[in-house]
């Protein structure tokens, strides 16, 4: 096929000697590959190989994307922190809010009330629990994130509860309390401190395993980027984070590390095949790992009726997508840059 | 042939043994109807009927469960309360539990009124006296009878039945303990004695949380609350719901050790170390337990280490004291060291003469517990010891707290959540199996992958049941990450094993060994990442980190080696 194209482009040209011809062919191939790259949608057959080509040859350019996205994520989190004073949207379990206690001897249809209130106050979080004494219901507790200052909404909220229950609530009939966060003020400080130590320990373990500095940093950077990008995306889609969400963010560390270690091992410890072949073998295994997990998570997200599980699943899914980019572009890029530099160093040494 | 090889493989057998042990630990019995006994009030109708008060460490399935009352079956908590609320004074009821049959008589609720007159009462008292026997001075115990004046009292019946003293809950179906999120618990509203500044409030909450950690209660939420009129409250929620645990939280815990009116040291900062191990804390072996009147008394003791400053104060205060010889051979100082807890005297310690004016840092603290039986007294003594230790470690809270109300609450995530979570879990297993099937097109890979996933969850729950930690939301997150990491690792092993099949550049064994290098590196990185979270204050991080570490350790130690061997056997041509 190359032969054919060549003759098409250079009709009537006389054949040169073998060596020159071969050289020309390789040059042509390179040129043509650049062309296919441009017209890749027209030649679907070559799509995979051209993606592979870009992935192989232009990894330095590709590396710009994860870093741009990481920077954008950091900016958006910074912006969120400045405008709202908080780097995530915390829900009632993390921020605290309002607790209304309504004693009632009658059976209350909690799910109907929950549904009604959620529909009337779509931007607020409502959670209802039953109070029991001696085995029978004695009332309900409604937790919501309506603020202390917002007395107009509170009045509206109470009247909606009355509407749903079908009874008038006397002022003595219920109590309203403002509750603080279930995790306490120092929780975030402690978490951040624990995470910093966690990242340092991770780095030390990776360093002991591979005995090289740059790849250890790359693993930590990938895990850090995963979490930061996920926080930014969660903020952008306006999701509120509960205590379950915090657990989900921590779970990302585990999922992130698995693929990064796989990549680092295949690239630094193995000697078979070319560098690119080893990267591609790691991609094959690693993408399979992430895909399997993502499919299981997506199914869980669709079929769960629990908001808590859904929250965990959404965060994990966003994190896993971010991890695909951070492992296979960012981490691969850093490792290949590192190997290239090492290679040059070795060459220089040999020459000297 | 291959199957036989698999089932005779040592690592596979270990997995099966682990699964069997886990199932034994979980002890599932879904037909376990009735109401389990949570606690028994001392001296109540139930308390004197002979039912044993369950220890908090008793595994859920080992708890005594009431099956029937007066030969009518009790299936739910509501059934039980229907019986109890219909009781009249002096009615008898027969409780049938899984451990025996008890007869209870409901007592009338009474009130003791102190009258304005006194009566004379004779009491026996044991004193130490010196007597000359055969020309030698000896110390002997003598019992004398003393007459004392006590106010006259009268007991009047109130016509209503007294609480029979049982606290019950729905009988558990497995040994896996459910956390606050899944099981519900008690919610207690506490009010500080005086209004606190924001800083004091934070200090108070931190102190309460620290006490919980020392006390070993992890599944508790403590938070600040306030009402519209500006009152401050503290809201405590405890899984399972034993509101007695709150007592230790509520106490201000002002601990002071005084010589006369001078404070030598107090709880918190003055104390460097409190011994809680068996060799230096527990029932006092030298004095042990004894009987007095109709009660048993047990002594406990534990050693503490004082700060240098506190020891110095002690030296100053003891310098001026005189040495006195008691009737026994030991020589003591003229004044005693008195221990006060919340301004109430706990114990008095004699100070040895050799400690006069010395800055000693090691001190033994003692106290006692009482009960109707020897066992009860020992139990009480150990409970008091633990409370005192907690207070000595954490120091006192800035204010006294008053309990406003106590309610039982249903869980945030109820039955519905558990059912749905199980359904979603099952669905994910099927999806993972399909994904693995599509990728490798071999059942020999897909079936072991799924089997390993299920085995890991069962073993993890077994460990949870065994060490008695609560499965809550954080633990569920830990289980998800365990299963996820497990699948990842198995894909690494399968890929590595199948990859070389075509090229055959290196042996199968060699390739599986390489897969284990990746898996082990990832494992250690993960464990070390979770490690600092174990020590972060909040229970959420701790529960997550603990479950994750145990879960992935089970994977690396038990299931992963077996999976590697199975792959090796199945893929060998």
Q: Which residue has better confidence, A7 or A241?
A: A241
B228 touches chain A (CB under 8 A): yes
Residues of A in contact with B424 (CB under 8 A): 299-300, 303-304, 309
Q: Angle of helix B473-503 relative to helix B539-554, nearest 10 degrees?
A: 30
- Using alpha carbons, list the distances in angstroms from residue A352 to A344, A347, B245: 12, 9, 75
Q: Is B425 helix (H, G, I), strand (E, B) or coil?
A: helix
According to DSSP, the residues that pair with B140 across neighbouring strands are B129
Residues A256 and A198: their CA atoms lie apart, in Å, by 13
Looking at residue B106, its pLDDT comes to: 83
Looking at residue B168, its pLDDT comes to: 80
Residues A29 and B422: their CA atoms lie apart, in Å, by 56
Distance from CA of A285 to the nearest CA of B (A): 6
Q: Which residue has better confidence, B14 or B228?
A: B14
Distance from CA of B500 to the nearest CA of A (A): 11
Taken in order A238, A243, A248, A249, the sign of the CA dihedral is positive
- Using alpha carbons, list the distances in angstroms from residue B421 to A57, B427, B475, B479, B485: 46, 10, 13, 12, 19
pLDDT exceeds 60 at position A9: no
CA nearest neighbour of A131 among B182, B410, B415: B410
pLDDT band at A79; cut points 50, 70, 90? very high
Distance from CA of B405 to the nearest CA of A (A): 12
List helix spans (H) across chain A: 2-9, 18-38, 47-57, 59-62, 64-84, 92-95, 110-120, 151-165, 187-210, 213-236, 243-268, 275-303, 307-325, 332-351
Indicate the burial class of A323 (C-beta count within 10 angstroms; 0-12, 13-18, 19 or more).
buried
Which residues 204-223 of B are in CB contact (within 8 Å) with A? Answer: 205-206, 209, 221-223
Model pLDDT for residues B19-68, shown as the tens digit of each residue? 999 999 888 888 888 888 877 776 778 877 778 777 666 778 888 888 88
Name residues whose C-beta falls within 8 Å of residue A211's C-beta, 6 or more positions apart in sequence: none
Strands (E) in B372-502, as ranges, are 401-409
pTM of the model: 0.73
pLDDT exceeds 80 at position B251: no
pLDDT exceeds 90 at position A161: no
B225 touches chain A (CB under 8 A): yes
The highest-confidence range among B268-277, B323-332, B372-381, B450-459, by mean pLDDT, is B450-459
pLDDT exceeds 60 at position B217: no
Average pLDDT rounded to a whole number, residues B510-520: 88
Inspect the interface and report whether the beta carbons of A199 and B529 lie closer than 8 Å. Answer: yes
Task: Return the minimum-mean-pLDDT range out of A61-75, A139-153, A322-336.
Answer: A139-153
Inspect the interface and report whether the beta carbons of A178 and B428 lie closer than 8 Å. Answer: no
Residues A264 and A258: their CA atoms lie apart, in Å, by 10
pLDDT band at A248; cut points 50, 70, 90? confident
pLDDT exceeds 90 at position A319: yes
Model pLDDT for residues B120-168, shown as the tens digit of each residue? 777 666 666 666 767 666 666 666 777 777 777 777 777 778 778 787 8
Q: Which residue has better confidence, B569 or B218?
A: B569
Inspect the interface and report whether the beta carbons of B526 and A303 lie closer than 8 Å. Answer: no
Residues of B in contact with A303 (CB under 8 A): 423-424, 427
Average pLDDT rounded to a whole number, residues B319-337: 71
CA nearest neighbour of A296 among A288, A284, A307: A288
Average pLDDT rounded to a whole number, residues B101-119: 81
Inspect the interface and report whether the beta carbons of A312 and B487 lie closer than 8 Å. Answer: no
Average pLDDT rounded to a whole number, residues A229-238: 92
Model pLDDT for residues A209-222, shown as the tens digit of each residue? 888 889 889 998 99
- Could you give all domains of chain B from N- to C-terminal order, each with its CATH number? 2-28+415-571 (1.20.1640.10), 35-107+162-170 (2.30.42.10), 110-161 (no CATH), 185-249 (3.30.70.3400), 253-396 (3.30.1360)
Residues of B in contact with A177 (CB under 8 A): 189, 225-227, 233, 235
Task: Return the minimum-mean-pLDDT range out of A2-6, A45-49, B89-93, B115-119.
Answer: A2-6
Which residues 274-313 of A are in CB contact (within 8 Å) with B? Answer: 281, 284-285, 288-289, 291-293, 295-297, 299-300, 303-306, 308-309, 312
Looking at residue A234, its pLDDT comes to: 93
Nearest CB neighbour to B536, from listed A191, A205, A300: A191
Among chain A residues, the shortest Cα distance to B475 is held by: A247
B498 touches chain A (CB under 8 A): no
B529 touches chain A (CB under 8 A): yes
The highest-confidence range among A224-238, B342-356, B364-378, by mean pLDDT, is A224-238
Give how far the C-alpha of residue B554 lies from the chain's centroid of Cα atoms, to the nearest Å: 25
The highest-confidence range among A201-215, B170-184, B259-273, by mean pLDDT, is A201-215
Which residues 145-204 of B are in CB contact (within 8 Å) with A? Answer: 184, 187, 189, 202
Looking at residue B228, its pLDDT comes to: 64
Q: Is B346 helix (H, G, I), strand (E, B) or coil?
A: strand
pLDDT band at B379; cut points 50, 70, 90? confident
CB B186 within 8 A of CB B180: no
Model pLDDT for residues B530-546, shown as the tens digit of each residue? 888 887 655 667 778 88
Which residues 39-78 of A are in CB contact (within 8 Å) with B? Answer: none
Nearest CB neighbour to A205, from listed B409, B525, B538: B525
pLDDT band at B193; cut points 50, 70, 90? confident
pLDDT exceeds 60 at position B103: yes
pLDDT exceeds 50 at position B358: yes
Inspect the interface and report whether the beta carbons of B528 and A202 lie closer than 8 Å. Answer: yes
Looking at residue A2, its pLDDT comes to: 40
- Using alpha carbons, list the distances in angstroms from residue B520 to A223, A294, B111, B524: 18, 23, 69, 6
Q: Average pLDDT over chain B, rounded to whole?
A: 79
Element (H, E) at B40: strand B35-40
Residues B91 and B321: their CA atoms lie apart, in Å, by 62
Model pLDDT for residues B498-509, shown as the tens digit of each residue? 875 555 556 788
- Using alpha carbons, list the distances in angstroms from residue B166 to B47, B106, B109, B173: 8, 12, 15, 20
Average pLDDT rounded to a whole number, residues A73-98: 83
pLDDT exceeds 50 at position B493: yes
């Amino acid at each position: 096929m190359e032969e054919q194209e060549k003759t098409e482009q250079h009709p009537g040209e006389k054949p040169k000697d073998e060596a020159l011809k071969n050289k020309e062919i390789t040059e042509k191939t390179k040129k043509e590959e650049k062309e296919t790259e441009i017209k890749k949608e027209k030649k679907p057959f070559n799509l995979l190989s051209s993606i592979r080509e870009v992935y192989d040859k232009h990894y330095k350019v590709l590396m710009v994307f994860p870093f741009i996205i990481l920077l954008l994520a950091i900016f958006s989190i910074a912006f969120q922190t400045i405008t709202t004073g908080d780097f995530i949207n915390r829900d009632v379990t993390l921020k605290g809010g309002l607790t209304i206690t309504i004693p009632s001897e009658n059976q209350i249809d909690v799910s109907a009330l929950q549904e009604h209130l959620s529909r009337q106050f779509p931007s607020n979080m409502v959670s209802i629990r039953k109070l029991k004494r001696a085995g029978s219901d004695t009332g309900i507790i409604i937790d919501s994130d309506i603020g202390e200052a917002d007395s107009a909404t509170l009045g509206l909220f109470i009247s909606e509860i009355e509407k749903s229950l079908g009874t008038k609530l006397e002022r003595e009939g219920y109590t309203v309390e403002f509750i603080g966060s279930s995790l306490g003020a120092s929780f975030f400080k402690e978490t951040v401190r624990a995470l910093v130590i966690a990242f340092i320990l991770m780095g030390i373990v990776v360093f002991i395993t591979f005995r090289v500095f740059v790849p250890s940093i790359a693993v930590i950077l990938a895990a850090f980027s995963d979490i930061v990008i996920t926080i930014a995306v969660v903020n952008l889609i306006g999701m509120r984070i509960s205590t379950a969400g915090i657990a989900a963010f921590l779970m990302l560390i585990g999922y992130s590390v698995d693929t990064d270690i796989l990549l680092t091992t295949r690239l630094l410890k193995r000697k078979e095949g070319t560098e690119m072949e080893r990267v591609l073998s790691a991609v094959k295994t690693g993408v399979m790992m992430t895909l399997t997990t993502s499919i299981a998570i997506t199914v869980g997200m669709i079929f769960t009726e629990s908001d808590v599980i859904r929250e965990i699943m959404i965060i994990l899914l966003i994190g896993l997508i971010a991890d695909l980019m951070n492992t296979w572009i960012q981490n691969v890029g850093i490792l290949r840059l590192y190997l290239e530099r090492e290679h040059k160093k070795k060459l220089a040494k040999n020459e000297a | 042939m291959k199957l036989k090889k698999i089932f005779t493989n040592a690592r596979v057998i270990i997995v099966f043994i682990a699964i069997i042990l886990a199932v034994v630990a979980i002890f599932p019995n879904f037909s376990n109807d009735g109401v389990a006994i949570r606690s028994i009030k001392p001296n109540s109708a139930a308390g004197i009927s002979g039912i044993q008060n369950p220890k908090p460490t008793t595994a859920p399935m080992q708890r005594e469960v009431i099956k029937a009352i007066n030969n009518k079956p009790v299936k739910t908590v509501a059934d039980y309360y229907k019986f109890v609320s219909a009781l009249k004074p002096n009615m008898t009821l027969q409780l049938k539990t899984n451990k025996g049959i008890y007869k209870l008589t409901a007592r009338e609720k009474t009130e003791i009124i102190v009258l304005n007159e006194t009566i004379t009462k004779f009491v026996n008292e044991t004193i130490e006296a010196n007597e000359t026997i055969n020309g030698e001075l000896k110390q002997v115990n003598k019992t004398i009878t003393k007459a004392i004046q006590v106010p006259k009292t009268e007991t009047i019946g109130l016509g209503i039945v007294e609480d029979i003293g049982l606290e019950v809950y729905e009988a558990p179906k497995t040994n896996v303990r459910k956390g606050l999120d899944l099981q519900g618990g008690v919610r207690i509203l506490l009010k500080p004695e005086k209004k606190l500044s924001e800083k004091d409030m934070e200090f108070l909450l931190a102190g309460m949380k620290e006490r919980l950690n020392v006390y070993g209660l992890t599944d508790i939420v403590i938070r600040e609350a306030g009402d519209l009129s500006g009152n401050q409250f503290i809201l405590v929620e405890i899984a399972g719901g034993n509101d007695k645990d709150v007592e230790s939280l509520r106490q201000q815990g002002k601990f002071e050790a005084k010589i006369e009116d001078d404070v030598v040291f107090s709880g918190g900062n003055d104390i460097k170390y409190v011994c809680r191990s068996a060799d230096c804390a527990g029932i006092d072996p030298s004095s042990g337990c004894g009987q007095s009147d109709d009660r048993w008394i047990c002594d406990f003791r534990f050693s503490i280490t004082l700060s240098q400053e506190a020891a110095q104060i002690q030296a100053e205060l003891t310098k001026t004291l005189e040495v006195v010889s008691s009737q026994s051979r030991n020589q003591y100082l003229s004044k005693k060291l008195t221990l006060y807890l919340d301004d109430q005297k706990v114990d008095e310690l004699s100070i040895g003469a050799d400690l006069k004016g010395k800055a000693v840092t090691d001190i033994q603290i003692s106290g006692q517990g009482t009960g109707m039986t020897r066992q009860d007294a020992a139990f009480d003594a150990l409970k008091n010891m633990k409370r005192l230790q907690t207070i000595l470690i954490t120091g006192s809270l800035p204010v006294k707290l008053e309990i406003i109300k106590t309610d039982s609450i249903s869980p945030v995530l109820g039955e519905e959540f558990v059912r749905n979570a199980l359904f979603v879990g099952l669905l994910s297993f099927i999806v993972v199996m399909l994904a693995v099937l599509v990728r490798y097109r071999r059942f020999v890979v897909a079936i072991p992958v799924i089997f390993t996933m299920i085995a890991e969850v069962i073993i993890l729950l077994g460990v949870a049941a065994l060490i008695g930690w609560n499965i809550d939301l954080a633990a569920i997150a830990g289980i998800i990450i365990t299963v996820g990491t497990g699948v990842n690792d198995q894909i690494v092993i399968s890929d590595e094993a199948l990859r070389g099949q075509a090229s055959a550049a290196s042996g199968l064994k060699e390739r599986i060994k390489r897969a284990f290098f990746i898996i082990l590196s990832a494992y250690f990185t993960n464990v070390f990442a979770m490690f600092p979270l174990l020590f972060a204050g909040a229970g959420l991080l701790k529960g997550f980190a603990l479950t994750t570490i145990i879960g992935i350790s089970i994977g690396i130690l038990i299931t992963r080696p077996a999976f590697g061997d199975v792959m090796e056997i199945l893929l060998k041509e």
